[in-house]
Amino acid sequence: MASVHLDNVAKHFGTTEVIRQLDLRIDSGEFIVFVGASGSGKSTLLRMIAGLETVSSGRILIGDRDVTDCPPAERGISMVFQSYALYPHMDVRGNISFGLKLARSSHDTIATRVARAARMLQIEELLDRKPAQLSGGQRQRVAIARAIVREPSVFLFDEPLSNLDAALRAHTRVEIAELHRSLGATMIYVTHDQIEAMSLADRMVVLKDGRVEQIGRPEELYRRPATRYVGGFLGTPAMNFLVPRRIEGRVAVLESGDEIALPDCDTAQVKTIGVRPEDIQIGGGGIAVSIFHVEELGETRIAHVRLGNTHELAVRSRSIDTDATQTWIKLHFPADRLHLFDRDDRRVAGN
């Protein structure tokens, strides 16, 4: 395992900037997840680390070695792609061992590594099958095993679970987390799925338009988003946003005329108020809203409500009745649970 340093890395295609002067240090043994919407640059960044895309400027270091101009085979990395890319004419054993055979590893080394990887991923009984005889989840485990046997310094995962159904994604997430713990390897993982990102990452790197919006532990990013984009990207349903008509002292006046108390901060900077669906309280002397839809999710319910004519909000609470559509409830917005953003959509200091 090895550390990875992206030293002021940039990538452009003609005049289009895809990655903009990005600097990031990844510790040896760390599990880092690049996350962001489509077009944010996360896959391009991963492919630059892998050597599949050239670097327009800056350096990439793996361990103490500058690999910026090294071909992929000389970087000490293994990559797992969204497509399994298995050879259909080879059995599972052949697919897993193919890279080792190309590297002219000894027969004993190949047998030992294949057996170890198959045991770790619980695919020992599949070694003699062809890819066509496997389920999607089994094929992905074979692809991961193929990466493991190379014993790389760094593992790269490019949206490896995108082709799996929801149940298999959840199961395979756990397997990848267990794999990281058992190997202690440096892993860099790309996904657009925030649940994958938050459940796997030691640290997350949230990207937008080729720039880093925020880096940190999943809970930190969820609880204290540095920008409105991060706050809105993480969470299901997404964070609610309210744009007040004006602010008087520590009170935000909405277009509906309703008022929300703000926490102690420089309220003159505030442009947008964010609040997560689970942080809104129901009842008391709050703001009246009308429910227009209720989602039943089993462990909880999501009420979609209208506040005046300008805002639609999501409220998470098991106490909401499923037949509450077209009824009115009152909501309270605790000041200590609000997220305040300025005109540049940056978090307001002191919140």
- 8 A C-beta contact, residue 339 and residue 275: yes
Residue 349: pLDDT band by 50, 70, 90 thresholds?
A: low
Structure tokens at 19: 């990655």
Please give the Cα distance from 252 to 340 (Å, whole number): 11
Residue 292: pLDDT band by 50, 70, 90 thresholds?
A: very high
pLDDT above 70 covers a percentage of the chain that reads: 99
Say whether pLDDT at 265 is over 70: yes
Q: What is residue 326's predicted lDDT score, i.e. its pLDDT?
A: 84
Structural domains present in the chain:
4-232 (3.40.50.300), 240-341 (2.40.50.140)
Q: What is residue 168's predicted lDDT score, i.e. its pLDDT?
A: 79
Q: What is residue 161's predicted lDDT score, i.e. its pLDDT?
A: 84
345: left (phi over 0), alpha (psi -120 to 50) or beta: left
Q: What is residue 350's predicted lDDT score, i.e. its pLDDT?
A: 56
Give me the mean pLDDT over the 203-226 stretch. Answer: 96
| CA-CA-CA-CA torsion sign (330, 336, 337, 343) | positive
Give me the mean pLDDT over the 217-245 stretch. Answer: 95
- Per-residue pLDDT of 156-191, as tens digits, reads 999 888 877 888 788 888 888 988 998 889 999 999
Say whether pLDDT at 94 is over 90: yes
Please give the Cα distance from 162 to 259 (Å, whole number): 43
Mean residue pLDDT across the chain: 91
Residue 102: pLDDT band by 50, 70, 90 thresholds?
A: confident
Please give the Cα distance from 31 to 24 (Å, whole number): 13
- Per-residue pLDDT of 124-147, as tens digits, reads 999 999 999 998 888 888 988 998
- Per-residue pLDDT of 103-114, as tens digits, reads 888 999 999 999
- 8 A C-beta contact, residue 152 and residue 183: no
Helices (H) and strands (E) in the chain, counts: 8, 20
Say whether pLDDT at 48 is over 60: yes
Say whether pLDDT at 351 is over 60: no
Say whether pLDDT at 44 is over 80: yes
